[in-house]
Homo-oligomer: A and B are copies of this chain.
């Protein structure tokens, strides 16, 4: 379960914790499958921009390096991995969900999608490949290029999520699915999973150095910094009200 503050924003520590947890769960023989969930209202609000804004050059570099490595680790997880999306799931929150085998989302006024571009963050091809695996290239392209956030109903219609249930049914629904996966022979299921993801994982594992260099340069561009400042002001204002 993602558990960091009200909205589960992803900071560097959380990236490392998640990567470590998934490594442990993979080797733990007691664990047959894993459900990732958040809190009612928020699966994860994505990257913690308030914290990341204050990272220095070295910290930002390390943060993005580790964040881009996270989909590799999650997408290559050998056991069944189901996302029980308990609320909002933009940007980085959506990326985590995309790595899972199956996505069930709670009904409600929630949004999900990759809205990096309006925030000023460059989308690497690895993330596009992950998005288009589920959405197809057409919708993945159009949605990323306009920074679209989808409602739960839109996400279901477009195949970004596989099922929509009430908040109360969310965990039961995720468990039902993971049990169905676990009923299959584990070697057959797990080997087939990695076969089906072979091309995708290959793309996620491709060298990200060039992408990183460009992303970092753009991160420190005055326009991006200004955009982030405005967003953070907004978040603080919202946070003060709620």
Q: Which residue of the partner chain B has the closest CB to A101?
A: B145
Q: In chain A, residues 90-133, which have Cβ atoms closer than 8 Å to a Cβ of chain B?
A: 101-102, 116-118, 120-125, 128-129, 132-133
The 8 Å CB contact of A102, one of B120, B129, B140, B142, is B142
A138 proximal to B (CB < 8 A): yes
User: Could you tell me if A125 and B195 are in contact, using CB atoms closer than 8 angstroms?
Assistant: yes
The 8 Å CB contact of A138, one of B116, B159, B199, B214, is B159
C-alpha spacing A117/B189, complex, angstroms: 6
User: Could you tell me if A188 and B102 are in contact, using CB atoms closer than 8 angstroms?
Assistant: no
A144 proximal to B (CB < 8 A): yes
User: Could you tell me if A145 and B189 are in contact, using CB atoms closer than 8 angstroms?
Assistant: yes
A31 proximal to B (CB < 8 A): no
Q: Which residue of the partner chain B has the closest CB to A196?
A: B128
* Main SS at interface, chain A: helix
Given contacts A142-B102, A146-B180, is CB(A191)–CB(B162) below 8 Å? no
C-alpha spacing A134/B128, complex, angstroms: 14
C-alpha spacing A133/B120, complex, angstroms: 25
A41 proximal to B (CB < 8 A): no
Hey, which bits of chain A sit against chain B, CB under 8 A? 101-102, 116-118, 120-125, 128-129, 132-142, 144-147, 159, 162, 180-181, 184-185, 187-189, 191-193, 195-196, 198-199, 211, 214, 218, 221, 223-224, 227
Further pairs besides A117-B188, A123-B196, A125-B198: 6, Cβ < 8 Å:
A117-B185, A128-B195, A133-B137, A135-B138, A145-B193, A188-B224
